[in-house]
Amino acid sequence: MIEQTQAVQDSSTSITSSVFRILLAVFGNFVVRRFFFFLFVVWLASTVIFIIPRLSGQDPVKEKLLLEAQRGGAIQQGLDAMAKSYQKRFGLDLPIWVQYGNFLSDLARLDLGTSIAFFPRTVNDIVFESLIWTLGLIGTVTIIAFTLGTLAGAVLGWPRRPGWVQYLFLPLLTLAAVPQYLLGMILIFVFAFSLGWLPLFGGYEPATLPNLSFDFIIDVLRHAILPAFAILFSVIGFWAIGMRGMMINAQGEDYMIQADAKGLKGARIFMRYAVRNALLPQVTGLALVLGTIITGQVLVERVFSYPGIGDILFQAIRLSDFFVIRGIVIVIIIGIAGATFLLDVLYPLIDPRIRVKN
């Protein structure tokens, strides 16, 4: 790099060399490099999403109208004209390069288009509204499950744990293997249907409008309990098993033997030596899972008719609402790429070995 800089300085004017140096400074920065990589991933994936439906040869508008026509009876008159006008409305009559340009510029402004099934509502509205519910429920549950599961796994993988702790392992393993929707249905049957303690479905009472009053918040929490536990039980086991494995691995490391030989207190060896090192892969896992929670838990949200993004995705697929599906997929891509970006930027803070020196 130094040689290059010097070569440039020798052969060019001072302007080009300073431009070069600024570029080097900007792109040499690890965070900036990772951010551009993030943008690149989003662009690439979006392009694939743009191309693939067009390869299918199907026309989302026409499909939709035909479906409606079949439902509504045999009125086929003016269907083509209607399709044309809708295609004009969605810009589908333009040459493909113009469409691609429009798509990218819309994406850059984070405009995901208009829903076909709920016309004229925008995809942004629909996705944003449901995303709040999903992030609120699944985001919170994921963080709680990660914390509890990692803690349980850490204790389970610690040779000097109290004896009774080992009895936790089998239930955790079993719960991790039960599908969440099945657990959800059992919970609904027992606590909502049979006992009637908690509501059967939805994110809040159907007759109310979302607001920030105390009663409404309590109502939301009551609705969230069953889906939260349906996810929590299985996900805790997932984190616990991973952490337990990493803890057992750490026991064999030389620095663990040395920590004992140094006569350190048990609590310090546990936290600062064993857990601290075993946690590293767990954090990677958490970042990747956080990227995918945007997908929602389609099955769980379906079982509980929870107004999250998973439920919206299900409905959009059923109604072949192409633009909503596309919008949700793009949000998922941004979520995963964003989580990877954050992980890249934050991971060096917890693992000094991968700190990049500029």
Partner 1 sequence: MSTEQAIKTYREGARITDVDTLVVKGLSVYYETESGTVKAVDDVSFTLKQGERFALVGESGSGKTTLAMALMRLTRPPGHIAKGSIILNNRDLTTLSEEEMRRARLSELALVPQGAMNSLNPVMRIEKQIIDGIVDHLDDDETVTKDQLRETVRDLLTRVGLRPDVARMFPHELSGGMKQRVAMAIGISLRPKLIIADEPTSALDVVVQRQIMQTLGRLQEGLDASIMLVGHDMGLVAQFADTIGVMYAGKLVEVGPVEEVFSDPKHPYTKLLIQSLPSLQEKKDFVGIPGLPPLLIHLPQGCAFEDRCPSRFEKCPIAVPEMRGVGNRREVACYLYEDEDAS
348 binds partner 1 (CB under 8 A): no
As measured in angstroms, the least distance from the Cβ of 151 to partner 1 is 19
Could you give the string, one character per residue 221-250, with x where binding to partner 1 holds by CB under 8 A and - elsewhere? Answer: ------------------------------
As measured in angstroms, the least distance from the Cβ of 285 to partner 1 is 17
- Residue 259 or 339 having the CB closest to partner 1: 259
d(CA 292, CA 41): 15
Q: Positive or negative, the Cα torsion across 279, 283, 284, 286?
A: positive
158 binds partner 1 (CB under 8 A): no
Query: How many residues at the interface with partner 1, by CB under 8 A?
Result: 22
DSSP secondary structure of 219-279: HHHHHHHHHHHHHHHHHHHHHHHHHHHHHHHHHTSHHHHHHHHTT--HHHIIIIIIIHHHH
d(CA 248, CA 79): 66
CB-based contacts of 24: which residues, under 8 Å, 6+ apart?
1, 5
Residue 119: what residue type?
Answer: F
CB-based contacts of 135: which residues, under 8 Å, 6+ apart?
293, 294
54 binds partner 1 (CB under 8 A): no
- Residue 108 or 271 having the CB closest to partner 1: 271
User: Which member of 72, 73, 163, 352 binds partner 1 (CB under 8 A)?
Assistant: 352
As measured in angstroms, the least distance from the Cβ of 344 to partner 1 is 18
According to CB under 8 A, which residues from 277 to 306 bind partner 1? 277, 280
As measured in angstroms, the least distance from the Cβ of 242 to partner 1 is 18
As measured in angstroms, the least distance from the Cβ of 283 to partner 1 is 12
122: helix, strand or coil: strand
d(CA 148, CA 238): 11
- Residue 221 or 257 having the CB closest to partner 1: 257
According to CB under 8 A, which residues from 82 to 101 bind partner 1? none
- Residue 89 or 161 having the CB closest to partner 1: 161
349 binds partner 1 (CB under 8 A): no
User: Which member of 71, 109, 318, 353 binds partner 1 (CB under 8 A)?
Assistant: 353
As measured in angstroms, the least distance from the Cβ of 341 to partner 1 is 23
d(CA 190, CA 171): 19
As measured in angstroms, the least distance from the Cβ of 150 to partner 1 is 16
d(CA 200, CA 192): 5
According to CB under 8 A, which residues from 181 to 200 bind partner 1? none
Within 10 angstroms of residue 208's Cβ, the number of other Cβ atoms is 12
Token match 């509502």: residue?
Answer: 121
Contact 333, 41 (CB under 8 A): yes
Stretch that binds partner 1, among 9-17, 118-126, 335-343, 345-353 (CB under 8 A): 345-353
As measured in angstroms, the least distance from the Cβ of 277 to partner 1 is 6
- In whole angstroms, what separates CA 316 from the centre of its chain? 18
Stretch that binds partner 1, among 65-73, 149-157, 171-179, 347-355 (CB under 8 A): 347-355
DSSP secondary structure of 146-168: HHHHHHHHHHHT-TTS-GGGGGG
According to CB under 8 A, which residues from 249 to 278 bind partner 1? 253-255, 257-265, 268, 272-273, 276-277
Structure tokens at 312: 């919206």
- Residue 109 or 265 having the CB closest to partner 1: 265
Q: Which residues contact partner 1 by CB under 8 A?
A: 253-255, 257-265, 268, 272-273, 276-277, 280, 350-353
